[in-house]
Structure 1
Amino acid sequence: MPKKTITATIMCAGNRRSEMVKVKPVKGLNWGPAAVGTATWTGVPLRDVLKKAGLNEFDGKYKHVQFEAEDLDATGKNYGASIPIWKAVDERGDVLLAYEMNGSPIPRDHGYPIRVIVPGVVGARNVKWLAKIVISQHESTSHWQQNDYKGFSPCTDWENADFTKSPAIQELPVTSAICKPYDGDTVNIVDGKIFVKGYAWSGGGQKIIRVDVSADDGKTWHVANFDAQDCSEPPRHWAWTLWSVNIPVDQNSKTANILVKAVDSCYNTQPEKFEHIWNIRGVLGHAYHKIKVHLKQ
């Protein structure tokens, strides 16, 4: 069976959860702008494996592909997740049963000997240490598919949250983050400007088409340069975009509030405030990333 190689970004559903915490407490780890990474993955297309097993993608008999891992989760059961069958069988879905990462066998911590790579989809569905694949009418019954990694309204609390009425997160929304400088850093002003860089990414294979950066808390905006972006077109743009910008600042000010927002190929953009998208679990935290830095002449 022919192998395939793709470069794809894997992102946690709550990679900006720390900003959610600043609004109100949430349950979960404070990743900040992290919990994201990009690698080149090599493996066998899941689509080919399913065809070899006799799946007829057009008969409509099945709706989901479930994955079960060797490792046990906090509930004492094997970790599990699932994706819609259309994602699994679509040639443009590029779902892999991967055995190499960056040209070498996948390291143990990343799922050796084989893991699922579902590009454009939340990391929770990219199951490591794969043990079993099940084609079914229903989603995985695992805790992580049914009782976690779901979004809720800001008005929902743990007393009235109904996980059965909220779909499991699959494709993630557009997001971006500032990687340098860090929040609280002292930054040198050079020719009236400071240097800022970071990443941007969107789920569902959408391409980043613009990154806007502000150094005056959103009063004015400047378009960043793309330093690295793969040449794939949507809906198969799986890897993050790296950006940078030399942005003018008020040289009479001792501080600057830097904001970033990205726009994808569907012209989706980020919400302005975390207050508007806060949820009890802190997932899908993709509002403008904002940091405050000290300025030095």
Structure 2
Amino acid sequence: MPGLRAPSDYSQEPPRHPALLVNSKEPFNAEPHRSALVSSYVTPVEFFYKRNHGPVPVVDDIDKYSVSIRGLIEHPKELYMKDILKLPKYAIAATLQCAGNRRTAMSKTRKVRGVGWDISAIGNAVWGGAKLADVLELFGIPKSSNKSPCGGRHVEFISIDRCKEENGGPYKSSIPLSQATNPEADVLLAYEMNGETLNRDHGYPLRVIVPGVIGARSVKWLDSINIIAEECQGFFTQKDYKMFPPSVNWDNIDWSTRRPQMDFPVQSAICSLDDVNNVKPGKQINIKGYAVSGGGRGIERVDVSIDGGKTWVEASKSQKAGIPYISDDTSSDKWAWVLFEAEVDVPETTEIVAKAVDIAGNVQPENAEVIWNLRGILNTSWHRVNVQISHSNL
């Protein structure tokens, strides 16, 4: 594509913050220390997790950059940035989460395949851009359509990015047309993140943001948008990011028996404590973390236990400073996480646990064993940390 290209090696990678925990150098996959996530409601760009499948694309000439809109539409064309910038701009607060978030903990149950993420393959940002529903309307597809006039039922996003899983082809994925054309779904063609131009790791110059859905569908470095009759047939839609039961292994797996994962389940994690913590007796502990649910479902409550789950207290919840969080109120950001907090006294060595409940009554499962799957995705089990009371004078 003129103006945007995918390098064949890693010699032109962008700079990254040195505090990131690197899980893979080439391609670059990294997350912040968990404590960085609860320092602010909006995650700073430099501490927002980086998830790449190949060398990061390079923009040579932004004026020549365009996105091809084609497929089951009457008049395919190139859409340039100046065209997208003319459309109404929206700022949507939305949490992105890699489907493999907390995979490392799930792998302790049984071995899984994938990048070994801790609990920070997640972040909350304010994304700026045009609604995809507005863009598709320019091409004769009315808002809130299940089917385009030419028979399209899905919208496929194709990146300029090249990855080994596609045998050197581009990363791609799709969402239903009904979601893409629904203005209330807030699907964006985003060119800003936290009020600034997207950086390269996060999709510059243009990416898709699909709120409430696993990050794999929010395709970066857009090359083209296709209106298609069936789901995308690419690797990451058909042979990855699907949820299988614990009985399925690499010998008996049949990818065609499961739908591509979209919404993510209710999730929470403690970020103010490490997995193992040494504290002095009598010290009050401040427990902070995040909670979020997919599909725009708000968080009804977050429960915290200081005795491994025998008894519970309810944590306080917040989003924007000075505005009370109400799980189903229009004043709240429905696509974004909440930060929770609880002050507790821990008299003895114990296990501290957190679990969240969303407005539909969905609750995190108690352990990873019951949701184990061979790809290690969607580990939403109760998050647990150990606190050891140290009586040493050192």
Question: Could you say which TM-score interval applies, normalised by the shorter chain?
Answer: over 0.9
Partner of 1:64: 154
CA distance in 1, matches of 2:99, 2:116: 12
Q: Which has the higher contact order (CA 8 A, sep 6+)?
A: 1
1:152-231 equivalences under 5 Å are: 152-190=244-282, 193-228=284-319
RMSD: 1.7
Give the number of the structure whose alpha-carbon radius of gyration is greater: 2
Secondary structure (helix, strand or coil) at the match of 1:185 reads: strand
| Number of residue pairs matched by the alignment | 293
Shift of residue 296 of structure 1?
Answer: 4.1
Can you list the C-alpha shifts for 1:87-136, whole angstroms capped at 9, x where unaligned? 11111100000011111110011000000000000000000001100111
Is 1:243 the counterpart of 2:337? The answer is no
Distance 1:268 1:113, change over 3 A: same
CA distance in 2, matches of 1:66, 1:237: 25
CA distance in 2, matches of 1:145, 1:107: 25
Shift of residue 274 of structure 1?
Answer: 0.5
Partner of 2:221: 129
Distance 1:38 1:59, change over 3 A: closer
Structure 1 unaligned residues grouped into runs of 5+:
none
1:172 alignment partner AA: F
CA distance in 1, matches of 2:207, 2:157: 10
| Alpha carbons 1:206, 1:234 under 8 Å: kept | no
1:1-297 equivalences under 5 Å are: 1-56=87-142, 57-58=144-145, 60=147, 61-74=151-164, 75-190=167-282, 193-228=284-319, 233=328, 237-249=334-346, 251=347, 253=348, 255-296=349-390
CA distance in 1, matches of 2:129, 2:245: 38
Can you list the C-alpha shifts for 1:162-220, whole angstroms capped at 9, x where unaligned? 111111010000000011111112134556x4221110000000001100011101111
CA distance in 2, matches of 1:47, 1:231: 28
Say which structure is richer in strand.
Answer: 1
| Alpha carbons 1:9, 1:238 under 8 Å: kept | yes
Can you list the C-alpha shifts for 1:248-284, whole angstroms capped at 9, x where unaligned? 32x2x2x210111000111111011101000000001
Secondary structure (helix, strand or coil) at the match of 1:23 reads: coil
CA distance in 1, matches of 2:112, 2:297: 29
1:70 alignment partner AA: I
What TM-score, normalized by structure 1, do the two folds share? 0.94
| Alpha carbons 1:228, 1:243 under 8 Å: kept | no
- Percent of aligned pairs with the same residue? 45
27-36 or 170-179, which moves further after superposition?
A: 27-36
Secondary structure (helix, strand or coil) at the match of 1:180 reads: coil
Secondary structure (helix, strand or coil) at the match of 2:276 reads: coil
Structure 2 unaligned residues grouped into runs of 5+:
1-86
